[in-house]
Structure 1
Amino acid sequence: MASPAYLATMPLHAITEVYGEDGLRQRFALEVARFPVPDRERLEEALELAARLHRDDRRVREPYLNHLLRVAIRIMSHYGVDDVDVIVAALLHDAVEDHPDELGGDTEAALAELAKLFNRRIADLVRSVTNPAYDPDRDRHEQYRTHVAESLDRDPWARVIKVSDFTDNGVGVIHTTGPKVHSSATKYRPLVPVFRELVARADTPLSAPAKAHIMDQLDLAESRFAAILDGPQTGEA
């Protein structure tokens, strides 16, 4: 494993490629070391709950937990956010959507369990970034984009979680393989202007440098989506 000082300078996907989950866990530990002990314990509790819930989940080439770690680390390291509730919710942002049964049953029961384990604010943040049940008669991607726009419009702190999630999926699309590359670009590309507008709002609780960093990441994601969707297709001259 790299030294802590070196690990702290590495891009998150580079840590993933070189050191995997162990490296991301170490980077997470470096980020949370500055927190008071009670807050650090709560963050570690959330990480272990996320690890248990997603223990059998994978994202193409990696354990799903890697994605959750990157989303949380990005919020602390790149966005400068020390709000423990937001970081806990980032670690658990897919827990209710993917594993409601293990948290007590349906969506509402799972959210109630998170409120019991942590607090109501964390449960409400997770609610804001949890996709509702899809209507099979409507386009799935369009429903997803509508949900994102509407839920983040009313919840500024949820924007912070979702934009980190979006960055991991969008900028990180080059680390994806197979059919998911094209489907991810198709799903996420129309959201770039939505996130630009949301991040730029005065009530989005991020510093000017953090917002500028996110805008750069959105530019990068957009360029990668364009390369995937607008570039020459296989078999073309």
Structure 2
Amino acid sequence: MDFPPYLASMPMHAITEIHGEPGLRERFRLEIRAFGEEARSRLGAALDLAAELHRDDRRVREPYLNHLLRVAIRMMHHYQVRDVDVIVAGLLHDAVEDHPAELAGAHPAGPAAGDDRAAAALATIAARFGPRVARLVAAVTNPVYDPGRDRHVQYREHVAASLDREPWARVIKVSDFTDNGVGVIHTVGPKVFSSATKYRPLVPVYRELIARPDTPLTPAVKQHIFGQLDLAEERFAAILDQPVDAGASTGR
């Protein structure tokens, strides 16, 4: 497939709409050209594993791999991340949560379940990519929630607690959030409202985490992220703060 020479500077959702997964894969290839051979090999292996694990997964109207590619590309291009462990963890950030049995090489009906299966999956990541990658993936993996409590509240609690002690995990998670939050306008159907409801309360949480002195990003990158958080809040407000139609409320 032929791609335009300006692919390296195109907005990622524009690449997604026009060129789909092949375009995002090419953009990823362009981004990792600056890395050494060993680093490119590790990044390629992580992308191959993510593609295999999520091969049948979809995200509304696109392959789920597109989301993972955008998270990784955003960190390299917009956040200036050159830490290969962090980018690998970005590609695999949903692997343990979505495919623990496959990742661990265990049969889905096997005896391991819940935390045990997740631990086995993380052990596989540690063996393939190193313990630091596994630790970063663990920090951005949702725990098993208490069914008796609100899931959104538990999610916010988990984000605040897990990212408090892992500065590089904040970078992965805010790229993930940006793709979900700023990208909410690219979502269709009921998921638009549910996503805005889930993610809007996290805007101040991420703002505080990114502003911390130990978050390993330059001041310019932090300002870029703050602008993206502002944009996400504007889009959430447009979705959630629309006035109720008086005629609808009275049945007219």
Alignment correspondent of 1:122: 133
The CA deviation at 1:185 is 0.2
Alignment correspondent of 2:59: 59
Alignment correspondent of 1:36: 36
Alignment correspondent of 1:90: 90
The CA deviation at 1:150 is 0.4
Whole-angstrom distance in 2 between the partners of 1:72 and 1:183? 25
Whole-angstrom distance in 2 between the partners of 1:42 and 1:228? 40
Alignment correspondent of 1:222: 233
Alignment correspondent of 2:154: 143
Percent identical among aligned pairs is 71
Alignment correspondent of 2:50: 50
Partner residue of 1:190 out of 201, 225, 233: 201
CA offset digits 1:64-95 (Å, max 9, x no partner): 00000000000000000000000000000000
Whole-angstrom distance in 1 between the partners of 2:222 and 2:185? 23
Whole-angstrom distance in 1 between the partners of 2:243 and 2:10? 32
Asked if 1:162 is matched to 2:173, the reply is yes
| TM-score of the two chains, using structure 2 as the length reference | 0.92
Whole-angstrom distance in 2 between the partners of 1:78 and 1:144? 26
Alignment correspondent of 1:232: 243
Amino acid aligned to 2:185:
I
Alignment correspondent of 1:109: 120
Alignment correspondent of 2:185: 174
Whole-angstrom distance in 2 between the partners of 1:187 and 1:142? 9
| TM-score of the two chains, using structure 1 as the length reference | 0.97
Please report the RMSD computed on the Cα atoms of aligned residues, expressed in angstroms: 1.2
Alignment correspondent of 1:133: 144
Paired residues, what number?
A: 236
The CA deviation at 1:233 is 4.8
CA offset digits 1:120-157 (Å, max 9, x no partner): 00000000000000100000010001000000011000
Whole-angstrom distance in 2 between the partners of 1:17 and 1:154? 36
The CA deviation at 1:231 is 1.3
Partner of 1:55, secondary structure, is coil
Structure 1 gaps, min length 5: none
Amino acid aligned to 2:145:
Y
Whole-angstrom distance in 2 between the partners of 1:150 and 1:111? 19
Partner of 1:8, secondary structure, is helix
Alignment correspondent of 1:11: 11
Larger radius of gyration: 2
